């Protein structure tokens, strides 16, 4: 492939404005790969960059094809795969235990501290690239990130505390909530009922079509809705909304030994420790992104459930229309939104 010297990249100015500027195409140094980006998904965590601006090129849910490799690398040119957000050191105690999402010496968050995947080319350290199947499309490969990766990791965290789960509540049906939903259907089994709340009818309809039991909390109380679904006391809950009210409501309906996993950043929550935790032996657990070593399992699941999982991607835009893509995404009537190069 011919690699140009410069590229057009979106610059996030702030106040919800994106323009295009020229940047040099970086060259891979030792241990680095240059990817031709195929696709990058929009994420709610980019709200700060869209409204506050960004000095780097955003984009942390990218998949691309290796087009150049520096010395000391072994990934073949032409390999296709996603980029792991966190550039982990590989040597600290967390990394040696496999917890690469909790590296003590993290070098970068691609798309936040270093240029990310909304550019035509992205330079990454080789350790964060995961070579997937060459026949995957860009939008399919990025399902391995926030959708399957973050969604699956929540359930792993949950099952550390509570191995047998017979009912699940998800608060928030944005891309992460939908990701937890599809991974729950796959990992916990079709038979486990998964209730999912939101206030946006579009998202609730999508959740329903993916096998979730939708609850419109703009028009129903959570206990009443769970009651009518036959799961008044779910075994577990995952909060993807980041909202205190949602977390509090989830704890209040959890069964004894219930577990709340918090994955959506945002507000706080106040615990009545005796009632919420001690006497009921409930737990509140955090879950951040996922571990690099979860990629192979998720790739195997993606191969098996490709069509089902792909239904999460509801909107695709060429990168030239990234401004519109963000406006549509933040208006709320979408599942996963992807821009393609």
Using CB under 5 A, list all residues that contact Zn ion: 43, 45, 88-89, 92, 95, 103, 146
Name residues whose C-beta falls within 8 Å of residue 4's C-beta, 6 or more positions apart in sequence.
25
Q: By C-beta, is 175 or 214 nearer to Zn ion? A: 175
How distant is the alpha carbon of residue 310 from its chain centre? Answer: 14
At its nearest, how many Å lie between Zn ion and the CB of residue 54? 14
Beta bridge partners, 124, equal 33
Q: Which is nearer to Zn ion, 92 or 199 (CB)?
A: 92
CB of 166 to Zn ion, least distance (A): 30
Distance of alpha carbon 151 from alpha carbon 238, whole angstroms: 10
- Name the residue nearer to Zn ion (CB basis): 54 or 167: 54
Minimum distance between the CB of residue 233 and Zn ion, rounded to whole angstroms? Answer: 31
Which of 46, 276 has the CB closer to Zn ion?
46
Q: How far, in Å, CA of 271 to CA of 277, rounded?
A: 8
Closest approach of Cβ 96 to Zn ion, in Å? 8
Q: Which is nearer to Zn ion, 89 or 192 (CB)?
A: 89
Q: Please, what is the minimum distance in Å from the beta carbon of residue 18 to Zn ion?
A: 17
Radius of gyration from C-alpha coordinates of the chain: 20
CA dihedral 39, 45, 47, 49 (to 10 degrees): -70
Residue 64's closest CA among 45, 39, 88?
A: 39
For the record, the structure tokens of 1 come out as 């492939």
Nearer to Zn ion, 106 or 185 (CB): 106
- What distance in Å separates the CA atoms of residue 292 and residue 69, rounded to the nearest whole number? 21
Closer to Zn ion by CB, 61 or 235: give it.
61
Q: What is the nearest approach in angstroms of Zn ion to the Cβ of residue 127?
A: 10
Q: CB of 60: closest distance to Zn ion in angstroms?
A: 6
What is the nearest approach in angstroms of Zn ion to the Cβ of residue 340?
A: 17
Do 170 and 211 meet the contact criterion of CB atoms below 8 Å apart?
A: no
Quote the CA–CA distance of 236 and 100 in Å, as a whole number.
Answer: 25
Q: Which is nearer to Zn ion, 49 or 167 (CB)?
A: 49
User: Which residues, in sequence order, are CB contacts of 34 under 8 Å at separation 6+?
Assistant: 3, 25, 26, 27, 28, 66, 67, 68, 69, 121, 122, 123
Helix (H) or strand (E) holding 329: helix 322-331
Q: Which is nearer to Zn ion, 156 or 166 (CB)?
A: 156
* DSSP classification of residue 179: H
State the Cα–Cα distance between residues 287 and 158, nearest whole angstrom: 9
- Nearest distance, CB of residue 97 and Zn ion, angstroms: 10
């Amino acid at each position: 492939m011919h690699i140009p010297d410069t590229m057009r990249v979106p610059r996030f100015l702030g106040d919800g404005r994106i323009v295009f500027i020229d940047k040099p195409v970086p060259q891979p140094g030792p241990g680095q790969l240059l990817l031709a980006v195929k696709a990058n998904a929009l994420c709610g965590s980019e709200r700060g960059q869209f409204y506050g601006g960004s000095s780097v090129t955003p984009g942390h849910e990218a998949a691309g094809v290796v087009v150049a490799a520096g010395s000391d690398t072994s990934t073949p040119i032409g390999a296709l795969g996603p980029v792991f957000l966190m550039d982990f050191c590989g040597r600290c105690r967390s990394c040696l235990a496999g917890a690469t999402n909790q590296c003590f010496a993290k070098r970068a968050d691609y798309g936040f501290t270093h240029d990310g995947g909304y550019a035509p080319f992205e330079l990454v350290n080789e350790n964060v690239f995961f070579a997937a199947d060459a026949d995957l499309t860009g939008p399919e490969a990025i399902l391995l990130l926030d959708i399957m990766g973050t969604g699956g990791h929540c359930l792993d965290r949950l099952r550390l505390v509570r191995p047998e789960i017979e009912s699940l509540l998800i608060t928030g049906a944005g891309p992460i909530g939908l990701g937890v939903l599809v991974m729950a259907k796959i990992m916990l089994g079709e038979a486990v009922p998964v209730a999912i709340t939101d206030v946006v009818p579009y998202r609730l309809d999508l959740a329903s079509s993916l096998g979730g039991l939708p609850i419109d909390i703009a028009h129903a109380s959570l206990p009443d809705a769970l009651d009518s679904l036959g799961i008044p006391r779910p075994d577990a809950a995952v909060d993807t909304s980041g909202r205190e009210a949602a977390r509090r409501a989830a704890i209040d309906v959890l069964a004894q030994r219930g577990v709340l996993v918090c994955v959506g950043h945002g507000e706080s929550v106040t615990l009545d420790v005796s009632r919420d935790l001690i006497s009921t032996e409930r737990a509140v657990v955090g879950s951040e992104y996922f571990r690099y070593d979860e990629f192979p399992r998720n790739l195997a699941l993606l191969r098996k459930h490709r069509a089902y999982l792909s239904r999460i991607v509801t909107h695709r835009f060429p990168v030239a229309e990234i401004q519109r893509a963000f406006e549509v995404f933040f208006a709320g009537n979408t599942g996963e939104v992807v821009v393609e190069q």
